[in-house]
Amino acid sequence: MRLPGPCSPPSGWSVFGLALIAAASAGAAAAQDISDLPLEDLLQREVTSVAKRPQQIADAPAAVFLITQDDIRRSGAQSIDELLRMVPGMEVAAVSPDGTAVSARGFNSRFSNKLLVLVDGRAVYVSTLPGVLWDQQLTPLEDIQRIEVVRGPGATLWGANAVNGVINIVTKHAVDSLGAGIAAWGDDDGASRTSGRIGFRVGEDGALRLSATEVRRRGDALYLGRIIEDRATGRQVGFRYDVEPSDHDAFTVQGELQDGTSGSAAPTSSSDFRAHDLLARWSRRDGDAGWSLQTYWDHGRRESYGLVGEKDQLDLDFTRYAQLGERHSLVFGAGYRWSKDHIDGGVLTFAPGRFKEVWYGAYLQDDVTVTPRLTVSLGAKLEHNVFTGVEWQPSVRAIWKAPAGWSVWAAVSRAVRTPSRLETGLVFDQPMLRLSMVESPDLIAETMVAYEAGWRGQLSDRLSADVTAYHQVYESLIGDFATPSFRGLVLRFENRGAARVTGLEAAVDARLSPVWTVKVAASASRMTATHPSVNVGVGSNYDPASTPRGQISLRSMYDLSDAVDVDVWLRRVDGIHGLGFGAGTVKAYSDLDIRLAWRATPRLELFLRGENLLRASRIEFKELPESPIALVDRRIAFGFGLRR
């Protein structure tokens, strides 16, 4: 037993990016190659993030994309955020070696605040900022079973801040990583990633995996007209223990310790972090029914931008799913979260410096089988938070499966993003710049109502497609707004923003021959907004010019022989214009990676990868004018994966 823990295409589609997918995976030799599966079987693969229970992709009334072990191995990506570039509708841009801007359906920035990210059900979204610290996501790629990406709101089941999407990174069951393995990767700029693991049986019913990884990022940045070197290092050690004492029960305990540092010649660019977490989960499954009880503890300390922050968090979650008669499939549960933080700074301060939060809520969703081919899902979550009190997040979803095997679905959902500590309590005073910021304690939650529709199915026995259209309406968006005073500009966060985002996303898989598979992912979107904020680097970025109008990814995976793979990844991303407070324009770019891999033995894989081959360097994202701007350079990388 294994339990889960309408807008026409814009004119900017004139550019493409292509890349090779190169990676050495320690567990790749044991993993099933997805190219061995018929295309119709791919839609039968299970995901858990849409309904919080096992569900086939074909039955999911949502825009879901699955990154498999084979996608990871053949992509050549060396970080989780890099893998997300293959997902339609996702925006991924390098900010610096220690920072990546990742979002879905717009609103991208270093601290994108509308995307909930989880690792085995443990939220890594930091509500203090708010957003995800991608340099701290150090889970070894060889330990990842799959990454489930749900675009669009998931708040009915996952709660506040799951506004534009949910990403759930699912690691391998310990029994799937028995033995020892090591993987190493390096490039000609001095960046590297090394990971190792060992797994063994514990008794008759259990297994334990120990793993460690070190990532060294090296790159150039443009700062005040000159090129400087940026460096970042991250390390993580972890374990996962799984035991299944019966046919119905499964217990999991896992944890990590991590630390890291980064910096450059630019002032205030240094950053240091230390963190640890511990998670325990008891799951039971009996046919179509089951439940899961999970708790985890997180502790993190980070020094960055002149601030020193420390946070502890305890989370408890219970989920139950069951069949009620022949027509009703219920998912319901409750959750509780307690956290405290302590933030100190020099120029930047928080009021108060110490803060405690308590969140709790409950949810219910009923999947009603109206006819054998039509299912309607009705659900809602009630959740209480310390900033805005009780919030209501309902959804209605429906899916109809045609006799020919394809399906259509539609959904209307409401989600909220609650204010963060940064937005309610950030204070600073810069007399020399005649700029100051005051507290904003009276903020309300941002709201979003999404209208979505999609089609997925087989066009032939070698061709499948998945298309989604959406229109999302945002109100009460939080931004930083300036008021003139005799001392200069006074900034305050306010709920004055509104936006509309309309888009189209598509994914196509084609098996052109038994040895050649091509995967295409494309998206187009258009945003209109009112009352855009000043955006001094800490506010929400909802400037319509900050989102690429179009993106396309083309991946080609060709098996030259049983032992040799050639993988190509081409991407095109439209430009963005006028990012925040005069940061400027980022040009459209095309990108090409090529990977050549050789399985020298059944347990050893060697690879060579050319990365960013079309240009010597490019810029993908800009923050404040005085901040370092990451340069993404052309590189040659090599590495290996060894499994024993």
> How does pLDDT run across 320-339, given as a tens digit for each residue?
999 999 899 999 999 999 99
pLDDT for 38 equals: 55
DSSP line for 462-526: TEEEEEEEEEEEEEEEEEEEEEEETTEEEEEEEEEEEEEEEEEEEEEEEEEETTEEEEEEEEEEE
Domain count of the fold of the chain: 1
Inside any domain, residue 252: yes
Beta pairing class for 289-304 and 271-286: antiparallel
- 83 phi and psi angles, rounded to 5 deg: -60, -35
d(CA 266, CA 287): 58
Burial 594-631 (b: 16+ CB within 10 A, else e): bbbbebeeebebebbbbbbbbeeebbbbbbbeebbbbb
Q: What is the largest CA-CA distance in the chain?
A: 75
Any domain includes 11:
no
Query: How far apart are the C-alpha atoms of 72 and 76, rounded to whole Å?
Result: 7
Q: How many CA atoms lie within 13 A of 195 on its CB side?
A: 28
Give residue 241's identity as a one-letter amino acid code: Y
* Residues of the chain scoring pLDDT < 70: 1-43, 265, 267-268, 346-347, 532-541, 545, 578-584, 624-626
Cβ partners under 8 Å of residue 417, min gap 6: 113, 114, 130, 160, 161, 163, 445, 446, 448
Beta bridge pairs of residue 382: 362, 392
Peptide bond preceding 130: is omega within 30 degrees of 0, i.e. cis? Answer: yes
3-state secondary structure at position 610: strand
Strand partners, 464: 458, 509
- As a whole number of Å, the end-to-end CA separation of the chain is 25
Locate 372 and state its tokens. Answer: 């054998």
In a domain, 7, yes or no: no
| φ, ψ of residue 372 in degrees (nearest 5) | -55, -20
Q: What is the pLDDT of residues 168-227, one digit of tens each?
A: 999 999 999 999 999 999 999 899 999 999 999 999 999 999 999 999 998 888 888 888
Angle at 343 between CA 342 and CA 349, to 5 degrees: 145
Three-state DSSP state, 41:
helix
The whole-model pTM stands at 0.90
Quote the pLDDT of residue 337. 96
CATH classification of the domain holding 102 = 2.40.170.20
100 in any annotated domain? yes
Q: 598: which strand partners?
A: 564, 606
Q: Counting beta carbons within 10 angstroms of the beta carbon of residue 227, is it exposed (0 to 12), middle (13 to 18) or buried (19 or more)?
A: exposed
Check the CA dihedral 412-416-316-310 and report its sign: positive
- Under 8 Å between Cβ of 553 and 571: yes
How many Cβ atoms are within 10 Å of 290's Cβ, its own excluded? 20
- DSSP structural state of residue 146: E
Q: pLDDT (tens digit, 9 = 90+) per residue, 259-277?
A: 999 877 676 677 899 999 9
With vertex at residue 230, the alpha carbon angle to CA 262 and CA 267, rounded to the nearest 5 degrees, is 75
- Report DSSP letters for 517-558, one per residue: EEEEEEEEEEEEEES-----SSS----GGGS-SEEEEEEEEE
Tell me, yes or no, whether 67 lies in a domain: yes
Gap between the Cα atoms of 79 and 133, Å rounded: 13
Residue 320 lies in a domain: yes
Q: How many residues does the chain have?
A: 644
The enclosing H or E element of 39 equals: helix 39-42
Phi, psi for residue 36 in degrees, rounded to 5: -80, -10
Residues 387, 389, 395, CA angle at the centre, nearest 5°? Answer: 110
* Token pair belonging to 261: 């540092």
Angle made by CA atoms 383, 386, 390, in degrees to the nearest 5:
30
Residue 638, domain member (yes or no): yes
Full domain range(s) for residue 90: 17-227+238-643
Structural domain contains residue 297: yes
With a CB cutoff of 8 Å and minimum separation 6, the contacts of 454 are 62, 63, 408, 409, 410, 466, 467, 468, 469
Taking alpha carbons only, the member of 84, 161, 150, 80 closest to residue 115 is 161
